A and B are shown apart, each in its own frame.
Chain A
Amino acid sequence: MAIDVTKFHQTFFEESLEGLELMESGLLELEVGADNNEAINQIFRAAHSIKGGAGTFGFTAVTEFTHLLETILDRRRSGQAEVTQEAVDVLLESIDVLREMLSATRDGSELDPAEVVGVQARLQELVDSDLPAGGAAPVPSPAVPTPTSAVDAGSGDAVSGAALGTWRVTFKPQPHLFRTGNDPVRILGELAELGAYTVVADTSALPALADLDVESCYTAWTVELEGPTEQSAIEQVFEWVEDDAEITITRLDTPAVPAADPEAETAPSEPAAGADADGPAAAPTDTERRTGGERRQAEAAHGPATATTTSIRVDIEKIDTLINMVGELVITQSMLQELAQGNAIDLEKLQEGLADLERNTRELQGSVMQIRMLPISFSFNRLPRLVRDLSGKLGKKVELKIHGETTELDKTVMEKIGDPLVHLIRNALDHGLETPEVRVANGKPETGRITLDAYHEGGNIVIEIADDGAGLNTQRIVAKARERGLVGEDDQLTERQIHDLIFHPGFSTAETISDVSGRGVGMDVVKRNIVDLGGVIEVESAAGKGSRFRIRLPLTLAILDGQVVRVRDQVFIVPLVSIVESILFDPSLTSSLARGAGVYRHREAAIPVIDLSESFGIPPAAETADTPPLLVVVEAEGTRAGILVDDLLAQQQIVIKSLKTNFRAVPGLSGATILGDGTVAMILDVNSVLGLYRQTL
Chain B
Amino acid sequence: MSTITTEFMGTAADAGLSTDQYLTFLLGQEEYGVDILRVQEIKGWERATEIPNTPDYIRGVMNLRGTVIPIVDLRRRFDLAAADYTNTTVVIVLRIEGDTGTRTMGFVVDAVSDVYNVAAENVQPAPDFGARVNTQFIKGLAAVDEKMVILLDIDRLIGLDTVFSTFDGIADISHHNVPNSSPEETE
Q: Do A and B come from one complex?
A: yes
Stretch at the interface among A108-116, A154-162, A661-669: A661-669
* Cβ–Cβ contact A664 & B171, under 8 A: yes
B167 interface hit (Cβ, 8 Å): yes
Contact of A664 among B66, B69, B164 (CB under 8 A): B164
- Residue of B with least CB distance to A677: B63
Contact with A along B43-65 (1 / 0, CB 8 A): 00001111111100000111100
- Residues of A within 8 Å of B67, CB to CB, are 657, 661-662
* Cβ–Cβ contact B49 & A681, under 8 A: yes
A570 interface hit (Cβ, 8 Å): yes
8 A Cβ contacts from A442-462 to B:
none
- Residues of A within 8 Å of B61, CB to CB, are 659, 663, 672, 680
- A-B contact number at CB 8 A: 81
* Cβ–Cβ contact B171 & A678, under 8 A: no
* Cβ–Cβ contact B53 & A674, under 8 A: no
* Cβ–Cβ contact B49 & A666, under 8 A: no
* CB-CB under 8 A for A663 and B171, given A617-B52, A617-B53, A682-B49: no
B84 interface hit (Cβ, 8 Å): no
Beyond contacts A616-B53, A666-B171, A674-B66: 18 other A-B pairs, Cβ-Cβ < 8 A, are: A617-B52, A660-B167, A662-B67, A662-B105, A663-B70, A663-B105, A663-B164, A664-B166, A664-B167, A666-B53, A666-B54, A667-B53, A667-B171, A667-B173, A672-B49, A672-B61, A674-B63, A680-B61
A139 interface hit (Cβ, 8 Å): no
Shortest distance between the CB of A615 and any CB in chain B (Å): 7
Q: Tell me how many residues of B have a C-beta within 8 Å of chain A.
A: 30
Contact with B along A627-670 (1 / 0, CB 8 A): 00000000000000000000000000000011111111111110
Contact of A678 among B54, B63, B103, B173 (CB under 8 A): B63
- Residues of B within 8 Å of A659, CB to CB, are 51, 61, 68
A144 interface hit (Cβ, 8 Å): no
Docked complex Cα distance between A592 and B168 (Å): 34
Shortest distance between the CB of B99 and any CB in chain A (Å): 12
Contact with A along B10-41 (1 / 0, CB 8 A): 00000000000000000000000000000000
- Residues of A within 8 Å of B63, CB to CB, are 674, 678-680
* CB-CB under 8 A for A662 and B53, given A667-B171, A672-B61, A680-B61: no
B127 interface hit (Cβ, 8 Å): no
- Residues of A within 8 Å of B62, CB to CB, are 680
Docked complex Cα distance between A666 and B54 (Å): 9
3 residue pairs, one from A and one from B, having the closest CB atoms: A616-B52, A665-B169, A680-B49
- Residues of A within 8 Å of B165, CB to CB, are 664
* CB-CB under 8 A for A669 and B68, given A662-B103, A664-B164, A664-B171: no
A618 interface hit (Cβ, 8 Å): yes
* Cβ–Cβ contact B103 & A661, under 8 A: yes
